[in-house]
Structure 1
């Protein structure tokens, strides 16, 4: 009898404990929904002002955020060039993303111009805003144009802090086990998700090999590199003088002395990169930045997005780069190596000295044919006064056979590069286009 009574009491206690657990679970669910609402309504972003006249602005409302001159705007910019309602910033929930809960957009309301990363959005149009985007109002990229009325950097607080700060905490989530494979730049290891126990292949890229330690006065320096689940951050030198293409357009052409200085720096950098095993593969004036606005000759080679690291034996056969600067072997998809950079540099030297492209056509096929046949000419009307030595050096860069193309060391020893074109020896006299 006592045993039966004790069993009934035990069942009651068990039932009561279950009810308490259910109540706790309901409370937890309620708090979870409440937390979601708080998460949605708290500060989720920031406009960091680059103009001391205007303060930073915290983004902390669910409603549309309107920026403009009108007093009803959430953020007011009191300047006649700003429209009454210039643009709107808003966010919506991203139901398909597991890493970033919100999509943030900017809508341009002004005919005067809203620019994101230097590109005009356009009245009535919308663009996606990402962490670190540059937002400018009433601005053009034309030479000698005034600075933007207002300029902000958008900071997205809805992405995880690790992504904002560029930090990676992979070891907190995955356990690393045996090596599955080893490549030239990466090692692949077996990884186990500490939460689910699922197995993954984790590729670890050795950035010291993939992005070598580059230190050259004419190559942009990556001061720091940060990894995170969603982004790779590169901290680069800031060059404020624009690119070489814009400077040539403004000047129309460089004289021989200026061209020599710039070209020497380009070739010196190419020589350095090739010794590091790096082939740029997209050398052009747009990828050569001027360090300051006051100098026509202090340069930095940038944009290594198409570059590759090779050994002496490595070759490529992919059609990569910008057509007017491509070498014949690249266009014809033959195996090619670092010599393609020398061809591109020869095209750049031609442009420096006359302000025109050596190969030009409105039709890609015709342009490719000019290049593969090296249909090179030096019209008197645009090359008047340019020395025979300079034209000779261009021709020695633009040789169809990459094996016969001049090397960086030979370029640096060329009489024109030495600043003594009048002392050209017979073997350096002007020669026909070489195959």
Structure 2
């Protein structure tokens, strides 16, 4: 929501050993320094979302850019080449573990084909002896820590990494402390959210009750719910494939067969909701998540903020949804 993997700088040019400010040089006494401040070639580059630093030497090894995957492995064309035999040909992609030898995130094995979201200070270990620290750019640190929000429960650690943000709620990355599994957590302001009740819609307790009642393979599953006086925290399984809107933009067009495959999954989710007498009332590409950013993805329906229960024969009269689609 959340955030996405990226490309490194060109392999033909070696990145700087550590992010430092660029300095101006002058050839004569008549020269005067420029009035505008100098820019850091990494920190002030809007395309950079972070970089990997060798934990021992503090040397910058990999610059991570938005929208482009970076690869680490033994193969010569990888963005970061590690020549040891214990390193796989393509060991990992920022950040999906593709190795047969294992990639570790903060001491926890990621697992082949699995992904994690990187945050400031995360340590990546590739076999024995290769430790890297991830540094997030300032623009990637989207939230500040508010003790009233973040100190919610000893079971979870909520990260400042934002997956999405709306007027009355936001979605961040969370980590289950015992298992180190990453989750998405929807943080809802109970005071602002419940104050917008629109004839049975926009109610936190109602949304949570619906989510907990509609378990299905094509609906985002709820793992846990925690309520405080001010906030409600809904912990859900995290999917890193993005949403259908972005997928359509990147693919430009889908084949008829893939379109049918996606539509069929949406209909399965709606059929399940109908069997529970529930209407979603905000179906749109942005609310259809992809389990992975691959062809023929598994689709999951999300965001039940406007969902409502209904009884046969009762006609719902509330005008609601997303204005751009109405």
Flag whether TM exceeds 0.5 (same fold).
Answer: no
The TM tier, using the shorter chain, reads: 0.3 to 0.5
For the pair shown, the structure with the greater C-alpha radius of gyration is: 1
TM-score (normalizing by structure 2): 0.42
Which has a greater percent of helix? 1
TM-score, L = length of structure 1: 0.33
Relative contact order: is structure 1 or structure 2 higher (C-alpha 8 Å, sep ≥ 6)? 2
